[in-house]
Amino acid sequence: EMAPLDGVVTLQGDITSPSTASAILSHFDGNLADMVLCDGAPDVTGMHDLDEYIQSQLLLSALRITTALLRPGGTMVAKVFRGENAPLLYAQLQVLFRQVSCCKPASSRNSSFEAFVVCRDFIGRQPEGSG
């Protein structure tokens, strides 16, 4: 549970669930966001490959919401687990954002694979029929 903050709406749910995505999108009522922050993480199993895969599925769900919600030029910051597939992930993000970088907070343990991907300058969606 998170303590209420003035001007902040909190939604708790499974980001991979369509009902959670709908709740997030409906809150914005067609308006676009300047920034999306995704700090979600799975319960780690200790099996790094599995943990990285599950985290990537959370990130894909966050991206589905982000691409519908973020204004062109906007920023997304998301938690990632760095592993052998990280370069592929960054390449995919570079299709959607003009600038993608990975940062590891100083407070994070050296042994942790956790990091944050900072994606700036969202390219936006192509209008339908313009492809």
Kindly list the distances between the CA atom of residue 47 and the CA atoms of 43, 64, 88, 113, in Å, as whole numbers in the listed order: 11, 26, 20, 12
Assigned domain for 12 exists: no
Assigned domain for 65 exists: yes
Assigned domain for 72 exists: yes
Size (the chain), residues:
131
pLDDT band at 36 (very low <50, low <70, confident <90, very high): very high
Average pLDDT over residues 74-80: 92
User: How many domains would you assign to the chain?
Assistant: 1
Q: What is the CATH number of the domain that holds 91?
A: 3.40.50.150
Assigned domain for 89 exists: yes
Range of the domain at 116: 35-122
**Res 96: pLDDT:** 94
Question: Do 67 and 93 contact (CB within 8 A), yes or no?
Answer: no
Q: Is the dihedral of CA 93, 97, 100, 104 positive or negative?
A: negative
Q: Are strands 70-81 and 114-122 parallel, antiparallel or unpaired?
A: antiparallel
Assigned domain for 104 exists: yes
Of the candidates 79, 83, 114, 124, the residue annotated as catalytic is: 79
Q: Whole-number mean pLDDT of the chain?
A: 85
Per-residue DSSP letter, 50: H
pLDDT band at 121 (very low <50, low <70, confident <90, very high): very high
Residue 104 appears among annotated catalytic residues: no
